[in-house]
Structure 1
């Protein structure tokens, strides 16, 4: 049977139009505030973007902009996402002190283990239970922690609590600065990008940050020693979210939202944590190769710091309880979630 050419042409046109509609292309612009060579961008953010593109058969393109290239500063990041200035990005809620008080629980001294993957699994569960309201105006993809926090400084490593006295040390969050004050140091609040310049100019003597950030911040050149605490728990940690604009997410076709969903949640949070663990191992090797002093405080000195950390926690609980938070219960539940993640990982 001969089918008229016009009928074939119309059918082909309709098919092509349907295919074009199904193959809707979306470009998402995400940004972060560190070097693309640091651990989270290298081992999580960029691979996550590549997986989104692959899983969507190229229908979603994810552009990643480091160093806040789309504008704003690191403390602005949550609002940039919420307000639709950018489609998504990496956020440290603690950079806006007091705005997300329940998130501070995970950053209290010795709260989480040195395994960023374990800590991030606990962080996702904690976020789902307690922080949904805080982040209701964005679409949450992952919630995670970085790896162990250490003291990096010019000159010899700290060996005792007394060695902290008078040191000007960069602190990344309110809980971390409270602990530094208890130790007798003078905390200086600085976002990550400002730390190297402050070191080079002598504004600070050092600071607390991870192994994995050390190479990109040139701490092999700007500091001489790196000191960890003893035991399985980290001196301090920092809480992060990976999120996108809610309207942008909800405006995606159902099948493309499903691609985002399949790469979100516990899976993505654990992945982000593993990225930091990988980066910590790499960063420590760079500091060792530079000949810098690598030290671990004794169990006795670590116990002294833990006792000061418990004072910070008790004061935090009292302060937040006055403002209506069930602060003691939050701390207890967070510790239980961390212990469960640690048990599952052992």
Structure 2
């Protein structure tokens, strides 16, 4: 009897132990759900071509252990300028946003938004990542875990009346995305109106603004080609402006992940992701431009001589920014020179 009794105990203990191990293994391998919050509708190019493919890739490479819930158009509440705080305090897990939506908080990023700095989105995004790693990661962005930083394609003007020369901008109410672009427009003679990109459609339709600055790629989602008939592009190797973006994660959430899942995120972060995001977002410029062309809209391209006039008029924006950064102890001249050198390096390598 005793041997059989003890044998039963051993079997029971083995079964219980196996069950505990299975439960523990399941617990260790359980799914992690991350909430991704951003300000554009899901059909817009960045969610469709950048954020969704990134999230899909992370999910696949995690073997289904990471699930990324996507919340477009501020569905989880708040306003676009509040997104970075939502990532920082853990209201959500990941956000895509503009550092410039919170003026003064990420001053070093503004170097890439200065007038006539950027060449193309991929080269500038690579430069942005390098400068982020060397100057911003442990300072301005120390409270979040950054997955990627990038810029959009050439920024340009979309207006109800034609802008064919610098003087045409005088007094025009023009929407801008960030502090630097507001300053630029004001310096060039316009009346700048700062607002998040989702508000452009209503502002144009109600006459709150006469024009806006955005890249081509986002114009279809905002119905801009239907609301204005004129689009002003800038000839030459450098765009009027660009805007900086960041894909940021709650730091505690990232730190809580097991090492293998951190590696999945790390493998989909960094300079190559930055280059992909910038290149892909800018790649949507052409098809979006064609929509305006097909509508018969007026596409204006300023020639080299006229662009030179805009560059000269915009120079005080650069000079004043350098002085302002120097005043903050951020080495404005050094930031400017390093950003220009990196952009030149990556543009030449293409």
Normalised to the residue count of structure 2, the TM-score between the two structures is: 0.94
Are 1:304 and 2:303 counterparts?
Answer: no
| One of 62, 71, 78 as aligned partner of 1:56 | 62
The answer on whether the counterparts of 1:38 and 1:279 sit within 8 Å (CA) in structure 2 is no
Question: What residue is the counterpart of 1:17 in the other structure?
Answer: 23
What is aligned with 1:340? 345
CA-to-aligned-CA distance 1:55-84 (integer Å, 9 cap, x gap): 001000001101111111101111111011
Give the aligned partner of residue 32 of structure 1: 38
CA RMSD between the two structures = 1.6
Q: How far does residue 9 in structure 1 lie from its aligned partner after superposition?
A: 3.9
Deviation of the 1:286 alpha carbon? 1.4
Question: How far has the Cα of 1:21 moved from its partner?
Answer: 2.8
Query: Could you tell me which residue of structure 2 aligns to residue 215 of structure 1?
Result: 220
| Partners of 1:147 and 1:280 within 8 A in 2 | yes
Structure 1 residue runs without a partner (length 5+): none
2:134 is matched with 129
1:146 to 139, 152, 162: 152
Q: Does 1:46 align with 2:52?
A: yes
Q: Is 1:290 the equivalent of 2:275?
A: no
**Of 67, 70, 87, which aligns to 2:73?**
67
**Which of 94, 107, 112 in structure 1 is aligned with 2:113?**
107
Distance 2:312 2:344 in 1: 19
2 CA distance for matches of 1:320 and 1:264?
A: 28
2-side partners of 1:328 and 1:88: how far apart? 33
Q: Structure 2 CA distance, aligned partners of 1:40 and 1:129?
A: 26
Q: Secondary structure at the match of 1:29?
A: strand
Question: In 1, distance between residues paired with 2:42 and 2:239?
Answer: 25
- Counterparts of 1:100 and 1:266 in 2: how far apart (Å)? 19
- The whole-number CA distance in structure 1 between the counterparts of 2:241 and 2:121 is 12
1:249 matched to 2:270? The reply is no
State how far apart, in whole Å, the 1-side matches of 2:71 and 2:284 are: 20
Q: Which protein has the larger Cα radius of gyration, Structure 1 or Structure 2?
A: 2
How many angstroms apart in 2 are the aligned matches of 1:8 and 1:314? Answer: 75
1:79 — aligned with what?
85
Query: In 1, are the aligned partners of 2:188 and 2:314 still within 8 Å (CA)?
Result: no
TM-score scaled to structure 1, two decimals? 0.95
Residues paired across the two proteins, number: 341
| Aligned CA distance change for structure 1 residues 56 and 205 (closer, same or farther; 3 Å) | same
**Counterpart among 262, 268, 274 of residue 273 in structure 2:** 268
- Residue 284 of structure 2 aligns to a residue whose secondary structure is helix
Note the C-alpha offset of 1:11.
6.2
- Give the distance between the partners of 1:129 and 1:44, measured in 2 at CA: 25
